[in-house]
Amino acid sequence: MNKTFRIIIPVMLILCSLTSFGQYDTLQSFEAIEMDLLSTPGIPASLIMSTSPTEIVEPGSSPEFQINIQNASGNLTVFPNNYGFSFTPFWWTKRARTLSFDDDFTTDADLKFWRYLQISAGVIKGIYDNENLWRYGAGIQSTILPGRVDTKLKAKYARVLTSYHYKFIMGKDQYIAQNKLYIMYDSIQLQLRQDIMSTSNQAEKDSLFKILSNVLELKTKLDNELGNSYEQMVELAKDSLNVNRAFSHLEKRIGLKMDIGAGVAIDAQNNLIDSMNLYRLGIWTDIGYTKALFDHKSYLSLVCLARFLDFTDVLYFTEDFGEVFFEDLKVIDLGVQIKFDFSAKFAMLFEGVFRTGFDDRFKNTYRMNALMQYKFGSNRLLYLTFGNVMNESTDLGPQQLAVNIGINLGFGNPVTINRVSLP
């Protein structure tokens, strides 16, 4: 091997060590997906505390972690007094970090439990116009029948993903092939192979093989670094967003859905531990059906509620008996909700819930409620609700109109889709 060629190798090593590149995750923009899982703004703890903006929650996904902040006083001039949070343990497991596209985003209806298990807690200050009375709640809920992925939306995602992948690979190959250092590596690699073929000296052949191995290693490293600095990624940013958007639409599942939940609420006068007492326990189920409308851009959902509540003790005011102390009062709630998702950002729902008790002195009551919600960002949901409050303390019928405003914030890391196979 001539002297000039021997000098080129160390010079290239120096150049390679001095070269710096921008940091882009080459294929992560469609392998790692930001999942937007906020659907309706209710959480189990809010349901059992009677502070949920909706009594009926559409069964579906929940984010890794979410926070709910709401003005639940009916007076929009005061600071929010209702706070809650919930988390889904599944998203913290190893399996969630390498989610199987075929298994989790199937177009077939299948039963789940652990995948959608949601645990929550919440607190509200000021119950029954008593500003010193605090209520704490905790609940669990899981969607056991989440519905199925829309076949047309899955096919659309496949098209968008394939298009993006083709543009990325073709553009990246062209970008790398035009790099001067990469071209030099190719030239040196070719020269080394020719020198290896032409020499009969085994020691020199072994030396050339060692140099070739180093060059190939440097070339592979450069290939990765160039891919990470691929400037056309900026131009493909819009296509990348389209992939994420198409994927997020798969979370809006259609068909038959069902979830189950349970919760407990505790009251504490002056927020003191020794004044705590169990307020009520409850179990419930929501069963619904979601249908795609208008070329799968809008959705109509019908959900039915069945709920059993057991009040430990309730001081109840009646016109016939005056003050009545109910101990171990049991009631059943039955409700219906209709929800219309106009787009991925805006939705409206209307619901009615009827409550009847097992004690003749308890007067049947109901709640009529309407809600509007707007997603102003990924996992960012603002909602406004208005309707009457369910009466739990007198037989004078539903309480006055209440208008509440709240915000749900979801948090979580991008999810890597494992072994994506396209339909």
pLDDT in tens, 21-34: 333 333 333 456 66
> 267 pairs with which residues across the strands?
135, 277
Alpha helices by DSSP H, 93-141: 94-97, 101-104
**CA atoms within a 13 Å half-sphere pointing along the CA-CB vector of 243:** 23
Query: pLDDT (tens digit, 9 = 90+) per residue, 91-148?
Result: 888 877 777 777 777 788 778 888 889 999 999 887 766 778 899 999 999 999 988 8
CA 204 distance to own-chain centroid: 60
Other beta carbons less than 10 A from residue 393's beta carbon? 12
Residue in 89, 41, 99, 93 with CA at minimum distance from that of residue 67: 41
CA 320, CA 383: separation in Å to the nearest integer? 40
Instruction: Return the higher-pLDDT residue of 190 and 279.
Output: 279
Q: Is the pLDDT of residue 248 over 50?
A: yes
Q: Please report, for the chain, how many H helices and E strands are present, in that order.
A: 10, 15
Q: What is the dihedral of CA 390, 345, 97, 95, to 10 degrees?
A: 50
53 touches 402 (CB < 8 A): no
Give buried/exposed letters for 265-282 (b at 16+ CB in 10 A, else e): bbbbeeeeeeeeeebbbb
Average pLDDT, the chain: 80
Copy the structure tokens of residue 419: 């072994």
Amino acid present at 117:
L
The 3-state DSSP class for residue 144 equals: strand
Other beta carbons less than 10 A from residue 111's beta carbon? 10
Position 341 scores a pLDDT of: 92
Position 78 scores a pLDDT of: 56
Lowest-pLDDT range, 69-73, 233-237, 408-412? 233-237
